[in-house]
Amino acid sequence: MSFDYAPFFRADLPPAAVRWSGFPEYNFVGGHNDADGVPVEALATALTNVMQRDGKRLATYGMGYGALGYGPLRDSIAAMLEARAGMATDPDNILITTGSLQGLDLVNGALLAPGDTVIVEDVSYGGALSRMRGLGVDYVGITVDEDGMRMDHLAEVLAAQKQNGVRPKYIYTIPTVQNPSGTVLTVQRRRDLLDLAVEYGVPIFEDDCYADLLWDGERPATIRSMDQTGQVIYCGSFSKSIAPALRIGYVVADWPVLSRIIPLKSDGGCGALEQMALAEYCPSQFDGHVDELQTLLRGKCTVMVNALEEQFGAAAEFSAPKGGIFIWVTLPETVDTDQLAKAAAAQGVLINPGSEWSADADSGRRRLRLCFGHPSHETIRGGVARLAEICHAEFGVPVRGANVER
Amino acid sequence: MSFDYAPFFRADLPPAAVRWSGFPEYNFVGGHNDADGVPVEALATALTNVMQRDGKRLATYGMGYGALGYGPLRDSIAAMLEARAGMATDPDNILITTGSLQGLDLVNGALLAPGDTVIVEDVSYGGALSRMRGLGVDYVGITVDEDGMRMDHLAEVLAAQKQNGVRPKYIYTIPTVQNPSGTVLTVQRRRDLLDLAVEYGVPIFEDDCYADLLWDGERPATIRSMDQTGQVIYCGSFSKSIAPALRIGYVVADWPVLSRIIPLKSDGGCGALEQMALAEYCPSQFDGHVDELQTLLRGKCTVMVNALEEQFGAAAEFSAPKGGIFIWVTLPETVDTDQLAKAAAAQGVLINPGSEWSADADSGRRRLRLCFGHPSHETIRGGVARLAEICHAEFGVPVRGANVER
């Protein structure tokens, strides 16, 4: 007989996990990346080199660098942020985190309490929105167009909130390769966003974890680089640019913020081998690697776009993303993507229904997010064809698909 | 001017962190290990090997093994627990965590709510006690003697709590190389502990993270190995046996518990390189490595014991620990180790005052914990000599020290 834990669990736990059963045949969810795009050998070599020099530091928590993380990695990140994102950064303003996910949890842990309000883009990262809901925080969505968050709408919302005595805890934005829209906030809007944040006295939380994968156009300066007062908290990650399983991200913020976040990071530090390998690898190889990875992902993006056009025709509306690993698709009004996602999962096709990626869940009901970083060209084509068949069977659209009259 | 975050922070945050300023000259705190005891080269070689075979898995979150962690590492841990700790374990009952610290946080997150009560050993791991206080949880301490937690006292407390309608959420124990006492709970007491837990329907949380460092006597079977119903939740770690900076620990529990813990682990997994390196390294090299490490630590323990006897004489009471990296010392009643710790820190000597390692802080006021895993023999001797001088200056004891009449 099993011991009964029911009386012992907290009453407010999330639903129980289900046992892992492997990836399905067509996996279009999750921030996985291309298996051939991981610099496996170079990372192993980098680690071997740095271990010879610095391996004894493994004997101490924090490798002798304290809670912020491995010093040489913070130096590397600072150099990359300056060169690639136009952001001069003191390495002591960088906290290494277990992916940007821990960064979100730590920033939220310091700032958000039940009943608080935050501002988000009206389509946004599902994991950020679910975290806010889990914390009992309300979010208000700002319209996103092809140039990112619309500043006229943001100004309206901030004015209305002020009128109502609401001071949002932060404005959460993914300005570069926005998740899920794939858009890039223009430089002018970045300036306007910071101006509005200053005017209303609201922090900005800038999540830049896809920015290294921008292939269409120049990478704009970060919003934090335009800020002289520490009003912008920034986070980034190596999950998309190197490998998600490494679990190395970072928060960039001024000390008054970092000093309140650090005590919440109760895990004794992030993995040393990842930090050491990246510190050694990045200065000489990151830029070249990311160029190759972009080419690879751009090719997959093209395959995805072509497959959608071929299988869904006019039934699927979308803009090709400017980088990254996902595409945001709008289907006809008759389609409910929550229902589609369920039907597709039953047939081995995983998709993100738009409701989970939308501040207003209802407005996302005919939208979906498809990730193309991990599947092969062939899998993308096969999966989109199967998705079109399922969508046709459930909703009668697309009318034609897979070169077959339905 | 700096942006003012004061109105934005949660009201219940812990105190702000202070900037890292490096380790002091004599560092007798923290679970650091011997720098020469880290198998640096072997870990790098192991990682290179496993990366050649399995490196492409880095492209997916969880490396294709889901939330529990890298499959081959869970297999290795299961094999080691069976061989070394007499505990047959299904690898699917093992959750890889960021050190055992994340294990503590996850188990606490699932079980503990403000106002709850738990049972602990009356001297216990300071980080466990501070976590409980932070969660608003009351703890009751059970006397520890040279054979570990006393079962007569536990029986008394459980009976009294039942009488008062209190059902503790768990009994937290570090049975093998107890922190800080260095004692080992006898097999008979382990059986009695489980019997009492069953009688009163209370889960046991068995923290076994020092057990691999036991050098005095045979390692007893774990309490969880005696339990057929899942009533015991177990955690372990590679921090002490391999290196603290790796940040790999694990929780062993039945699925009804793991399934509620997994959703609280919101960080997207633990570091892949650590998991891969350990999975490759452990099956062939862990046992031999730990034998060598024990010899090394036992040598340092002897240096510490001798230094204490030489410098403090009869003023310091202690039992040599049966393994591990720390010693628990009792000084004369006139000494207040909170004050001693402050005075010592100002002179480059860090110690853990006993109040932080005691369920009843007052009863720890003349005690202290000294960690000897990291400092060299010379540093141990020099630091204990300086500590004796400071203690003499503050409290007049030891009367004689450092071969000098004081």
B356-376 pLDDT, tens digit each: 999 999 999 999 999 999 999
Sign of CA dihedral B57, B59, B63, B64: negative
Query: Where a domain ends, among B269, B285, B301?
Result: B285
Size of interface A-B (CB pairs under 8 A): 304
How far is it, in rounded angstroms, from Cα A349 to Cα A27? 6
Same domain, B33 and B46: no
Residue by residue, DSSP assigns A156-168 as HHHHHHHHTT---
Kindly determine whether residue A247 and residue B229, on different chains, have CB atoms separated by under 8 Å.
Answer: no
Residue from the list A13, A34, A101 with its beta carbon closest to the beta carbon of B267: A101
* Residue B20: inside a domain: no
Assign residue B294 the CATH number of its domain: 3.90.1150.10
Residue B62's closest chain A neighbor by CA? A245
Query: Where a domain ends, among A245, A269, A286?
Result: A286
Q: In order along chain A (406 residues), what is the average pLDDT of each group of 10 residues?
A: 96 96 96 96 97 96 96 98 96 98 98 98 98 97 98 98 98 98 98 98 98 96 97 98 97 98 97 98 98 97 98 96 98 98 98 98 97 98 98 93 49
Same domain, B57 and B147: yes
* Residue B353: inside a domain: yes
Same domain, A397 and A307: yes
B28-46 pLDDT, tens digit each: 999 999 999 999 999 999 9
B94-144 pLDDT, tens digit each: 999 999 999 999 999 999 999 999 999 999 999 999 999 999 999 999 999
* Residue A98: inside a domain: yes
Residue from the list B55, B60, B273 with its beta carbon closest to the beta carbon of A271: B273
What ipTM was assigned to the predicted interfaces of this complex? 0.96
Q: Indicate whether B57 pLDDT > 90.
A: yes
How far is it, in rounded angstroms, from Cα A97 to Cα A107? 11
Q: Provide the pLDDT for residue A1.
A: 82
Which residues of chain B from 101 to 120 reach within 8 Å of chain A, CB to CB?
101-102, 105, 109-113
Residue from the list A61, A99, A109 with its beta carbon closest to the beta carbon of B32: A61
Starting from the edge strand earliest in sequence, which strands make up the sheet with A249-252, in order? A94-97, A249-252, A232-237, A204-207, A171-173, A117-121, A138-142
Residue B404 pLDDT grade (very low, low, confident, very high; cuts 50, 70, 90): low
Q: Provide the pLDDT for residue B98.
A: 97
Domain count, chain B: 2
Residue A9's closest chain B neighbor by CA? B111
Compute φ and ψ for B118, nearest 5 degrees: -130, 165
Which residues of chain B from 252 to 311 reach within 8 Å of chain A, CB to CB?
254-260, 262-264, 266-274, 277
Kindly determine whether residue A267 and residue B247, on different chains, have CB atoms separated by under 8 Å.
Answer: yes
How far is it, in rounded angstroms, from Cα A193 to Cα A60? 42
Query: Where a domain ends, among B237, B261, B285?
Result: B285
* Residue A14: inside a domain: no
Kindly determine whether residue B267 and residue A99, on different chains, have CB atoms separated by under 8 Å.
Answer: yes
Amino acid letter, residue B90: D
Same domain, B258 and B394: no
Kindly determine whether residue B61 and residue A13, on different chains, have CB atoms separated by under 8 Å.
Answer: no
Kindly determine whether residue A110 and residue B40, on different chains, have CB atoms separated by under 8 Å.
Answer: no
* Residue B3: inside a domain: no
- What is the residue range of A134's domain? 40-286
Residue A20's closest chain B neighbor by CA? B66
Q: Provide the pLDDT for residue A404.
A: 52
Q: Indicate whether B403 pLDDT > 60.
A: no
Say if A15 is an interface residue toward chain B (CB within 8 Å).
yes
Please report residues of A whose CB lies closer than 8 A to that of B125.
none
Same domain, A70 and A209: yes
Please report residues of A whose CB lies closer than 8 A to that of B57.
35, 245
For residue A28, give the nearest of A402, A349, A381 by alpha carbon: A349
How far is it, in rounded angstroms, from Cα B93 to Cα B81? 12
Q: Provide the pLDDT for residue A265.
A: 97
Assign residue B237 the CATH number of its domain: 3.40.640.10
Q: Provide the pLDDT for residue B1.
A: 82
B251-268 pLDDT, tens digit each: 999 999 999 999 999 999
* Residue B171: inside a domain: yes
Same domain, A269 and A321: no
HEC profile of A22-85: CCCCEECCCCCCCHHHCCHHHHHHHHHHHHHHHHHHHHCHHHHCCCCCCHHHHHHHHHHHHHHH
Same domain, A192 and A58: yes
How far is it, in rounded angstroms, from Cα A317 to Cα A330? 5
* A contact test, residue of B28, B40, B45 with most A CBs within 10 A: B40
Same domain, B332 and B229: no
Kindly determine whether residue B20 and residue A66, on different chains, have CB atoms separated by under 8 Å.
Answer: yes
Kindly determine whether residue B1 and residue A111, on different chains, have CB atoms separated by under 8 Å.
Answer: no
Please report residues of A whose CB lies closer than 8 A to that of B257.
5
Same domain, A398 and A295: yes
Same domain, A275 and A126: yes
* B contact test, residue of A27, A41, A58, A131 with most B CBs within 10 A: A58
Compute φ and ψ for A121, nearest 5 degrees: -70, 145
Please report residues of A whose CB lies closer than 8 A to that of B40.
51-52, 55-56, 58
Contacts of A150 (CB under 8 A, 6+ apart): A142, A143, A144
* Residue A292: inside a domain: yes
Q: Provide the pLDDT for residue A179.
A: 98
Residue B227 pLDDT grade (very low, low, confident, very high; cuts 50, 70, 90): very high
Sign of CA dihedral A71, A73, A74, A75: positive
* Residue B9: inside a domain: no
Which residues of chain B from 173 to 202 reach within 8 Å of chain A, CB to CB?
none
Same domain, B262 and B299: no
| Three-class secondary structure of residue B350 per DSSP | strand
Amino acid letter, residue A84: R
* A contact test, residue of B2, B4, B8 with most A CBs within 10 A: B8
How far is it, in rounded angstroms, from Cα A154 to Cα A111? 21
| Three-class secondary structure of residue A99 per DSSP | helix
B310-351 pLDDT, tens digit each: 999 999 999 999 999 999 999 999 999 999 999 999 999 999
How far is it, in rounded angstroms, from Cα A343 to Cα A335? 12
Give the minimum alpha-carbon distance from B250 to chain A in angstroms, rounded to a whole number.
13
Kindly determine whether residue A263 and residue B9, on different chains, have CB atoms separated by under 8 Å.
Answer: no
- What residue has token string 């502990």? B193
Residue A134's closest chain B neighbor by CA? B264
Same domain, B279 and B323: no
How far is it, in rounded angstroms, from Cα B27 to Cα B370? 9
What mean pLDDT, rounded, does chain B reach? 96
Q: Provide the pLDDT for residue B406.
A: 44
Residue from the list A13, A110, A244 with its beta carbon closest to the beta carbon of B60: A244
Please report residues of A whose CB lies closer than 8 A to that of B52.
40-41, 44
pTM above 0.90, yes or no: yes
Please report residues of A whose CB lies closer than 8 A to that of B264.
13-14
Say if A51 is an interface residue toward chain B (CB within 8 Å).
yes
Say if B58 is an interface residue toward chain A (CB within 8 Å).
yes
Kindly determine whether residue A109 and residue B37, on different chains, have CB atoms separated by under 8 Å.
Answer: no
Say if A14 is an interface residue toward chain B (CB within 8 Å).
yes
Q: Provide the pLDDT for residue B401.
A: 47
* A contact test, residue of B101, B266, B270, B276 with most A CBs within 10 A: B266
| Three-class secondary structure of residue A239 per DSSP | coil
Please report residues of B whose CB lies closer than 8 A to that of A233.
none
